[in-house]
A and B are shown apart, each in its own frame.
Chain A
Amino acid sequence: MSSTRRLDIEEVGDVTVAKFVDKKILDETNIQLIGNQMFGLVDEDGRKKIVLDFSTVEYLSSAALGKLITMDKKVKAARGKLRLCAIRPEILEVFQITRLDKIFDIKSTQEQALDGM
């Protein structure tokens, strides 16, 4: 169990909003930590409705995308719902280039992500 929290968790009704703490999601160790904390929301806490808020994130690498794909699989396997929001344009371009915008349910703002969750 790590003592460093990489996600800020907030409950909005029955939805869990997880906001990334880091500006740069690049470093391998950090990505591992973030992955474990994200997966814990589903695997350990049994949360079904999750919004990932990217408003702090300025950079992310392909290794981080890998963790998000795994997270999406976990949530789908648990018959839950996952939404991504507040992604800045440069990072949104990363999702578009890799066509991951087709896999993820991406909303512009946290409010929009929470709406109808």
Chain B
Amino acid sequence: MPIYEQFEIQIPSDTAEGQAIQEKIIAAMEAAEFSPRDVFGMRLALEEGLVNAIKHGNRMDPDKRVRIACTVSDVIASIEIEDEGPGFDWNDVPDPTAEENLDRPCGRGIMLMRAFMSKVEYNDSGNKVLLEKLRVTPDETAS
């Protein structure tokens, strides 16, 4: 199983730092020939996951850091994002597609992560999320 990227890093609570990591992961997925839709989905999920960690988890606190662990192989992209915040109850996020919530700007980030990733898993306290995308081969796309 060829590995295209593997690292673990801690970054400050700064969205620009998050962007740089995002680009590194996306470049590895492109090198591993993930489909454009997979890459699109991962960029979206990373954006939501990193913004959640930096803004909502660490509340932009410069003393707090975000840990990112990444593995991109030819079959899977697996990213773990952990912040130093108190976490949140991810079972208690309102359904953004419910009629009464449609015009409320909340809950959509997590929903998009779930829609585009093969797996999204939070730890119990809600300050760590695992994003996994299995590579779709051209054969599977055609079927």
Contacts and interface: CB of A to CB of B under 8 A. Distances in A.
Interface residues of A, number: 21
Given A65-B108, A98-B97, A27 B48 contact: no
B102 A90 contact: no
Interface stretch (A2-10, A11-19, A68-76, A78-86): A68-76
The secondary-structure label for the interface of chain B is: helix
Interface in B96-125: 96-97, 102-105, 108-109, 111-112, 115
A90 B37 contact: yes
B105 A70 contact: yes
Nearest to A58: B40
B47 A69 contact: no
B40 A99 contact: no
Interface in A84-105: 90, 94, 97-100, 102-103
A108 B136 CA distance: 28
B44 A65 contact: no
| Most chain A beta carbons < 10 A, residue from B15, B40, B111 | B40
Interface of B: 15, 19, 36-37, 40, 43-44, 47-48, 51, 55, 96-97, 102-105, 108-109, 111-112, 115
Interface of A: 26-28, 59, 61-63, 65-66, 69-70, 72-73, 90, 94, 97-100, 102-103
